[in-house]
Amino acid sequence: MAVIHMTEYGALPAVHITADDGAQATVSLFGAHLLSWKTADGKERLFVSAQTPLDGSKAIRGGVPVIFPQFNVRGPGLRHGFARVSNWRLTGQGGESGDAFLEFSLAPDDIAAEHAQAWPHDFALTLRFTLRDNALEMAYSAHNPGKQAYPFGVALHTYYDVGRLDATSIDGLRNQQFLDHHNQTRVQDTPLLHFTEKHDRMVEATPSVTLNTADATLRLEQQGFQQWVVWNPGKEDAAAMVDLADDEYLRFVCIEPARIYQQPLEAGATWTGKHRIIA
Ligand SMILES: O=P(O)(O)OC[C@H]1O[C@H](O)[C@H](O)[C@@H](O)[C@@H]1O
């Protein structure tokens, strides 16, 4: 049986879950933001900046920011959308035969008036985190209960604690087309992606990639999304970020299943995406 209790992370109300095998996760209601995922061996897999605000005043730097209804500035609204700065509701929890899950929901009544005014559409988001064996699964859905279609983009902006960026590589993107941070379209020609400076690529999705770090190998899978965004700010951009210590960029990489271009969510339609991380 999963053990679930309310807790606090910084000043944020959060939910902590422990699965039968000892795997653990902590999710803040602010953003339905996964802040920690420890596999049964006790190893933390996610990175959270030591300088991030944890009081709801700003999006959290680290963990898994939930992006909706736009990716970055690809839309007319708030950068990366309002989902990551809204208070979600815990709408499901439990565990059966080794599984442990938490489910969170967000609807127009939950969001701040300024966001509702800027984005006056009806929506129902759900995000379910499931711990199973050595894997974490995130099942994300966006439903349009209204009568009008509207454009949406989504992502799960996962920050991995890689320990050492210089000992990290990503396998599985060879021959994939990508857009770099100069807006150039290119194709990856090397089998492994390795970088130690600024890196911001939107890569055509593959069903899975492998993240190799100095002391771990993770398999990342996605369904229902269209890109992998691979991001690290590098030294100069990191130095300009107030919510990241100057040398913390050397410890993480973001690999994000995303739909970066806004596309219509038709009246009555539901989009679903899955992201599974296997240790
Ligand atoms: O600083 P944030 O709004 O959290 O965005 C952080 C990063 O998100 C994505 O990975 C984008 O590709 C980057 O261009 C952006 O800098």
Q: How many H-runs (helices) and E-runs (strands) does the chain carry?
A: 2, 21
**Rounded-to-integer distance, Cα 28 and Cα 11, Å:** 10
**Rounded distance, CA 214 to CA 257, Å?**
23
Please give the backbone phi and psi of residue 192, each rounded to the nearest 5 degrees, phi first: -110, 140
Cβ atoms of residues 2 and 19 within 8 Å: yes
Whole-complex ipTM: 0.98
Residues 251, 223: contact at Cβ < 8 Å? no
In short, whether 254's Cβ falls inside 6 Å of ligand 1 is yes
Mean pLDDT per block of 10 residues along the chain (279 residues) reads 95 97 97 98 98 98 98 96 98 91 98 96 98 96 98 98 98 97 96 97 98 97 98 98 98 98 98 98
163 CA → ligand 1 middle, Å: 20
Domains of the chain: 3-278 (2.70.98.10)
- 172 Cβ neighbours under 8 A, 6+ residues apart: 206, 208, 209, 210
pLDDT at 1: 85
pLDDT of residue 208: 98
State if residue 237 touches ligand 1 by the CB under 6 angstroms criterion: no
What's the confidence (pLDDT) of residue 124?
A: 98
pLDDT at residue 98, rounded to an integer: 84
Whose C-alpha lies nearest to ligand 1, atom 8? 72
C-beta separation of 202 from 258 below 8 A: yes
Nearest atom within ligand 1 for CA of residue 80: 3
pTM over 0.95: yes
